[in-house]
């Protein structure tokens, strides 16, 4: 059965709930005709339809333009469930890398300040920030200290000298979700998280030094402290093996909940439980612990990045103006209040490979950004560009305040390894003036620009659809891959 896609606007398509018996709401996909062919051999659209079966789902099952197949939910998938009406929470709607997210540091350095120093910078970052599969950091914590880390997140890191209190103000949730429960976390997860705080990890995680190439919104850029030619640093990583272990265990636990709570879904990867059930509350407590672990991880890495720049430039990071612009989560479920059919409702909002995009005057964003909206950070691939945007009131009305999270894969890692030559790729990146470091050739090939959609196209869709507004585009100068 082919999937019926009804074109609503140039950037918005609908999968009607009549497509499959059991769909409670329509599916809405933000995409354009140019990107449609990339979904032909992908099951992601069916996943959008399957999410529409979830008990308590309201409005739509949504997908952003970086959509591609994932576990349970597609990557780029968004769904909100009404807690008072038996709404569920699904680990597959959050993902294995809980609070995989991205943060952006500004600097007072101009691109000319880096002349002749790019290789030194990338080498310092590569050696100073642990990366790669199974990487371990210098931050070793006891079980009791891990509990404090899980509860306090980035604040835990700051209290131990990894940053300043100002950093916390510019993190989503101030770097720690309330309600984290260390007692819902297994011994195996504790063991995996014992030595991974302050590590980049593997896969699509990265550190990237960038220059601001183009400004689109001068006023917003002024508030954000951004100008053409400026040097920025982007950090992309999550909760590492700690979060993976939590997701893996709760996916298996919640499969039993399908029978217990008489929940019917077309895919067991959508295993779920009512938010207010014992299992739902346990998962929320553990998921929040992993989210806070990720914020602590990114905070420690921020400290290591600042130290690396201090070594290269022989100046303090404060003198170089290396302040945090913002930190946003990609894979998380949050309890938020949104208006549905004219009525305010408490919802469980799943964002799987999707970014919060709250508009101006929202009390959940820093006072400095009240006039422009929440900063939205969209990384691309290591050969093209990344973007800084701001959230919109329209996104709050239409997508529970959500936009895309990145470029989105075009090729699987396996396909990339089969079709892309390492030597040719490195030559192309070098010709663009981009220095790359990684623990192995395989990672670089898997993360080649050709394996991803063009982030310029993805951002163009969310900008024109009003889900977030472009502020500036940034080009990579050097990259450390996980």
What three-state secondary structure class fits 334? strand
Domain assignment of residue 1, yes or no: no
Is 50 assigned a catalytic role?
no
For the chain, give the mean pLDDT: 94
Q: Check if the beta carbon of residue 460 is closer than 8 Å to that of residue 389.
A: no
Quick count: other Cβ atoms within 10 Å of Cβ 41? 7
- CA 266, 268, 270, 276: dihedral to nearest 10 degrees? 110
CA max distance for the chain: 65
Q: Please give the structure tokens belonging to residue 446.
A: 């898997």
Catalytic residue among 236, 350, 405, 463: 405
Mention every residue, 6+ apart, whose C-beta is less than 8 A from residue 109: 230, 231, 313, 320, 321
Quick count: other Cβ atoms within 10 Å of Cβ 341? 7
Q: Check if the beta carbon of residue 158 is closer than 8 Å to that of residue 174.
A: no
Residues spanned by the domain of 69 = 6-481
Nearest to 467 by CA among 413, 400, 408: 400
Q: Using CA atoms, how far apart are residues 318 and 84, in angstroms rounded to an integer?
A: 48
- CA 289, 292, 293, 298: dihedral to nearest 10 degrees? 170
Q: Check if the beta carbon of residue 303 is closer than 8 Å to that of residue 205.
A: no
Helix and strand element counts for the chain (H, E) = 14, 19
Q: Using CA atoms, how far apart are residues 62 and 467, in angstroms rounded to an integer?
A: 12
Low-confidence ranges of the chain (pLDDT < 50): 1
User: N- to C-terminal Cα distance for the chain?
Assistant: 40
pLDDT, position 138: 67
Task: Quote the DSSP letter at residue 200.
Answer: -
Domain assignment of residue 203, yes or no: yes
pLDDT, position 50: 98
pLDDT, position 371: 98
Q: Please give the structure tokens belonging to residue 114.
A: 């880096």
Q: Using CA atoms, how far apart are residues 181 and 173, in angstroms rounded to an integer?
A: 16
Nearest to 282 by CA among 348, 184, 350, 186: 184
Residue 226: how many CA atoms within 13 Å on its side-chain side?
Answer: 31
Domain assignment of residue 373, yes or no: yes
Domain assignment of residue 356, yes or no: yes
Nearest to 205 by CA among 140, 119, 103, 131: 131
Q: Using CA atoms, how far apart are residues 81 and 93, in angstroms rounded to an integer?
A: 11
How many domains does the chain divide into?
Answer: 1
- CA 334, 340, 342, 343: dihedral to nearest 10 degrees? -50
What three-state secondary structure class fits 184? helix
Domain assignment of residue 182, yes or no: yes
Mention every residue, 6+ apart, whose C-beta is less than 8 A from residue 305: 105, 125, 129, 207, 233, 235, 322
pLDDT, position 194: 85
How far CA 186 is from CA of 149, 189, 284, 316, in Å, comes to 15, 5, 14, 40
pLDDT, position 133: 58
Q: Using CA atoms, how far apart are residues 470 and 148, in angstroms rounded to an integer?
A: 37
320 φ, ψ to 5°? -85, 0
Domain assignment of residue 64, yes or no: yes
DSSP 110-172: EGGGGTTTHHHHHHHHHHHS--STT---S----HHHHHHHHHHTHHHHHHTTSS-HHHHHTBG
Residue located via tokens 């597959």: 92
Q: Please give the structure tokens belonging to residue 460.
A: 């163009």
Q: Residue 257: which CATH number?
A: 3.90.1860.10
Write the pLDDT tens digit of every residue in 176-209: 999 999 999 999 999 998 888 888 887 788 899 9
pLDDT, position 482: 73
Q: Check if the beta carbon of residue 220 is closer than 8 Å to that of residue 471.
A: yes
Vertex 444, ends 438 and 450: CA angle to 5°? 155
Domain assignment of residue 328, yes or no: yes
């Amino acid at each position: 059965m082919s999937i019926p896609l009804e074109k609503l606007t140039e950037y918005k398509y609908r999968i009607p709930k009549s497509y499959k018996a059991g769909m409670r709401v329509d599916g809405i996909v933000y995409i354009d005709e140019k990107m449609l062919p990339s979904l032909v051999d992908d099951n992601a659209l069916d996943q959008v339809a399957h999410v529409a079966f979830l008990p308590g789902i309201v409005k739509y099952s949504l997908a952003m333009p970086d959509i591609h197949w994932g576990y349970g939910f597609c990557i780029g998938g968004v769904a909100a469930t009404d807690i008072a009406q038996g709404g569920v929470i699904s680990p597959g709607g959050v993902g294995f890398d809980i609070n995989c997210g991205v943060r952006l540091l500004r600097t007072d350095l101009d691109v000319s300040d880096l002349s002749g120093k790019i290789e030194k910078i990338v080498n310092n970052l590569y050696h100073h920030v642990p990366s790669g599969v199974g990487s371990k950091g210098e931050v070793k914590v006891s079980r009791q200290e891990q509990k404090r880390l899980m509860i306090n997140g980035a604040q835990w890191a700051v209290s131990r000298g990894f940053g300043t209190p100002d950093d916390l103000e510019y993190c989503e949730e101030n770097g720690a979700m309330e309600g984290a429960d260390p007692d819902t976390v297994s011994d195996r997860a504790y063991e995996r998280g014992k030595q991974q705080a302050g590590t980049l990890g593997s896969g699509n995680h990265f550190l990237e030094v960038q220059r601001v190439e183009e400004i689109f919104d001068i006023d917003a850029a002024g508030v954000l402290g951004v100008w053409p030619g400026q040097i920025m640093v982007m950090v992309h990583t999550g909760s590492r093996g700690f979060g993976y272990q939590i997701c893996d265990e709760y996916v298996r636990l919640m499969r039993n909940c399908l029978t217990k709570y008489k929940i019917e879904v077309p895919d067991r990867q959508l295993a779920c439980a009512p938010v207010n059930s014992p299992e739902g509350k346990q998962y929320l407590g553990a998921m929040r612990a992993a989210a806070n672990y990720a914020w602590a991880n990114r905070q420690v890495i921020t400290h290591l990045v600042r130290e690396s720049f201090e070594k290269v430039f022989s100046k303090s990071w404060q003198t170089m103006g290396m302040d945090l612009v913002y930190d946003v989560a990609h894979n998380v479920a949050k309890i938020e209040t949104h208006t549905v059919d004219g009525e305010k409702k408490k919802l469980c909002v799943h964002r799987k490979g999707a970014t919060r995009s709250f508009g101006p005057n929202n009390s959940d964003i820093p006072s400095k950004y009240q006039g422009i909206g929440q900063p939205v950070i969209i990384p691309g691939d290591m050969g093209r560009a990344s973007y800084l945007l701001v959230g919109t009131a329209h996104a709050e009305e239409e997508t529970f305040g959500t936009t895309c999270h990145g470029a989105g894969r075009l090729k699987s890692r396996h396909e990339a390894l089969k079709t892309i030559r390492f030597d040719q790729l490195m030559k192309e990146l070098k010709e663009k003036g981009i220095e790359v470091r990684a623990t192995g050739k395989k990672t670089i090939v898997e993360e080649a620009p050709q394996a991803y959609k063009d982030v310029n196209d993805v951002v163009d869709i969310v900008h024109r659809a009003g889900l977030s507004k472009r502020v500036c585009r940034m080009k990579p100068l050097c990259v450390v891959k996980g």
